[in-house]
Chains A and B, each alone.
Chain A
């Protein structure tokens, strides 16, 4: 990696101050994406601002009908949290499928959400659950937060601090992994929420995570795997690579949607 300055602030205010002063600085939480990029010299920040010392960003709490998950909460903590397992078991189960044991003990929800990797898991969950992403400046609904592949509404230097997730009536997730990377090649998160049925697709979209409205309508009318069995997403909107053509991914989205509904129960 190239040389960079290293900061480890103890509060969000301090972190934001460092980031505001240096637009080339990059925040790091678990580092599961940024570290490999640094090692491969694909990224050359002037400074790395290590958020791991900010205690206020950790932990899961339930506030009424909402789960509030601190941005630095690790995948392992989400997967094993009694609070998450009781409120949104599909989210805990999803967290358990991210990466491997080492990744789950390093990677954080805030980091995953801020990175918005098209094949990451959490963006699909948050979009389908109608979560709100809280930053040091504002609150953004997931629909406005995820803006395409590796792109979010975050401004330079803005930090995700917490994720607020309304507890759904039911939710489920299924994904087909890329055989090599084991990231999602096509994943579907379905949720029956107070605001209606929402379906989000990750891994497959040419422009990152997206909502699948036809499936939402079908499931709103009839919550069953059969309801989505005949709905196929347009392959021209999907990604293709050596592991999965757009046509294959389109097929997988339908299969995973059916399985997600079954998973939700």
Chain B
């Protein structure tokens, strides 16, 4: 063909197809959906962090206008509705399973955090439901509460669950303790460092929403929900909570406005509206309000850690010991237990050839909102701990922080590299990403910039973070052996239509990632179909085979690989059809980007010729090949993928106000093969925005009684455009060695690599003040406190 078209395949910075509808307000989110006869639900939530429910009087509320029904926990318990299940079981050091207390969808006898749902009101309008919810009288007896991670384990602390003595969920470890102790015994220096990883509220732009719908004639339930993984919700809710067979339960997750992990989990409200729809025989919509989301969406992070690094006399790492306390909140959210264990401690080797590591993690219950995976999930916590520790150790050992890192890097010739904490990294080149970042950030010229800032009364600092993460989750057998109660393969169906356009069904779910574009590019690249003729279908269990959804930067590495495998099947079948049509041997048929050719000849058939023949099989080897051109592949990855790289941040601090400004940020990431560079840049920048948010701005603050002090945007500092620099993003590619696309994933790298780069810069800016460490977030008040204390000491 001589027609020149713009290249749309792998490597093209194609504009996002989905943005045309998003930017014009034409997206279809759950709250945009209205079912005939729809009613509205409002959750009555606990104002107490911890209390017994002595009595709930709903009589007055039931009599109010428009009220269809009011349900409390006992109503669900009476029908043997199950608790909200946890999808991952961790085992203690002694082999016993973790404490896994019941998590009722509506509180039963006790509330355990502010926001714990106590009753649901269903009414003709939302306003009527709210009015009625206010008329419900709940007699509580407040109990002492515990909110702090360390406080939860103190003797005499209030007990969150009878089934979890001492508030301990689990006491877990990984690594070789004896080897670690031996390594420390011969160390020239041991550097100890303690830090807290601040609790965050995800705050997706779209609040959660759910519509339960029940067809009394067919007995079919439908749940429309803001989910990153509708099949997982169908499995968990159908099998464990409501006992509805899959064939009778459809879960639809349409356009979803951001997730960052917080929309992975099965939430109580989903089960409540689905179950209640069957009771009232009307569709029920629930849409979370922003202030409600602060106290009901799973939070992120919240670790308290101590780390010790053993060095030899030359500054080579001999071993690492880590002790971490992780706050689970009041109940176990779906994947909460794996976050501070297998998504965290397994990353503690970082990019360094650390010979031995021993880590212990205790997870605790508190009277706070449940904590679960949030963009990066465990890996930001590990990276922050390790990369701050590297700076502290370099300073104490009198080593240059870049040279210290380089000296301990895993070298390119060491891949595949087996860490002492279970993971085997397949590829990477940490020296290369470091060198690129140092160059791009003009690391060498920093002292000049620092002096210039000082002349203007500002404190300038530079910080570096070299990191690796594990994503593309995950090999099902491996995670199963570690306690996962689900598989983590992905599915893709390629449906080539008679005239050659393509519909892709994927179990991955797009909630901002640009799948409709990236996945279309995979098809364009391999099958030669223009992206305009490729539609991506996701988010509906009635349309898509059982898939696992999107989180852990898995969509491309796992879901894309499934599509690639399915396209291989399409090509293989197409070659057989083409061989028949061209009267050639199938071994002689080649395929490249839309054209089947008899090797060494000018005889060709287009994909469209083949698809038409497949669906109109007049001249067709019907005895040998089935009609149709549609293939499905399930892909289970052989390993995690390991993106990594180097982030460099430069900050300036105004010592008079304590305000920190990020003036420069450079990211050089290795995310494997890049399909759409523009989307990768956007993903990395978005992750860095959240990383800067964690480092400088965001903190979920509870008081000792369990009240959330940062319960709205008036007190929870979300990063805004003006808080962010123009982030320079570059990539350096080493291919993933075990998936067919060579891709690693880019969704989380920004949030993982950036916080320590920012905080290392903040500490560097304060270097003349003798500051060893600053806890996140580095708020103006906190920085001023440091500056002021120094000033007082100097006087």
What residues make up the interface of A, taking CB atoms closer than 8 Å to B?
Answer: 1-3, 40-41, 176, 179-181, 241-245, 248, 251-252, 255
Contact = CB atoms under 8 A, between A and B. Distances in A.
B34 interface: no
A243 B779 contact: yes
Contact of B715 (A2, A176, A180): A180
Contacts of B713: 180-181
B784 interface: yes
A48 to B, nearest CB: 16
A19 B701 CA distance: 41
Given A176-B657, A255-B656, A242 B784 contact: no
10 contacts: A176-B780, A179-B697, A180-B697, A181-B713, A181-B714, A244-B780, A244-B781, A248-B781, A248-B784, A251-B788
B424 interface: no
A200 B131 CA distance: 43
Given A40-B291, A243-B779, A244-B781, A255 B657 contact: yes
Interface residues of B, number: 25
Given A251-B788, A252-B657, A179 B779 contact: yes
Given A40-B291, A248-B785, A251-B788, A179 B714 contact: no
B716 interface: yes
A245 to B, nearest CB: 7
A41 B657 contact: no
Given A41-B130, A242-B709, A179 B717 contact: yes
B306 interface: no
Contact of A180 (B291, B657, B710, B788): B710
Nearest to B698: A180
Contact of B701 (A242, A245, A252): A242
A241 B716 CA distance: 12
Contacts of A41: 130, 134
Nearest to B717: A180
A181 B715 contact: yes
Given A179-B697, A181-B715, A245 B781 contact: yes
Nearest to A241: B715
A255 B791 CA distance: 15
A252 B788 CA distance: 12
B244 to A, nearest CB: 35
A239 to B, nearest CB: 13
A252 B656 CA distance: 8
A157 B779 CA distance: 42
Interface of B: 127, 130-131, 134, 291, 656-659, 697, 701, 709-710, 713-718, 779-781, 784-785, 788
A243 B656 CA distance: 16
Contacts, number: 44
Given A181-B713, A244-B781, 10 more contacts: A40-B291, A41-B130, A41-B134, A179-B779, A179-B780, A241-B715, A242-B701, A244-B780, A248-B658, A252-B657
B781 A180 contact: no
A57 to B, nearest CB: 29
A40 to B, nearest CB: 7
Nearest to A248: B781
A251 B659 CA distance: 13
Given A180-B710, A255-B656, A255-B657, A242 B715 contact: yes
Pairs A-B, 10 closest by C-beta atoms: A180-B717, A181-B714, A179-B717, A255-B656, A180-B715, A248-B781, A244-B781, A242-B701, A242-B709, A176-B657
Contacts of B658: 248
Nearest to A186: B657
A2 B697 CA distance: 34
Contacts of A180: 697, 710, 713-718
A156 B788 CA distance: 46
Contacts of A245: 781
A28 B710 CA distance: 28
Contacts of A255: 656-657
Nearest to B784: A248
A41 B133 CA distance: 13
A243 B781 contact: yes
Contacts of B291: 40
A120 to B, nearest CB: 14
Instruction: Select the residue from B291, B779, B781, B788 with max chain A CB neighbours within 10 A.
Output: B781
Contacts of B127: 1, 3
Nearest to A256: B657
A230 B784 CA distance: 17
A245 B785 CA distance: 10
A242 B782 CA distance: 11
Contacts of B131: 2
Contacts of A2: 131
B306 to A, nearest CB: 26
A251 B130 contact: no
Contacts of B697: 179-180
A251 B716 contact: no
A181 B134 CA distance: 28
B121 to A, nearest CB: 15
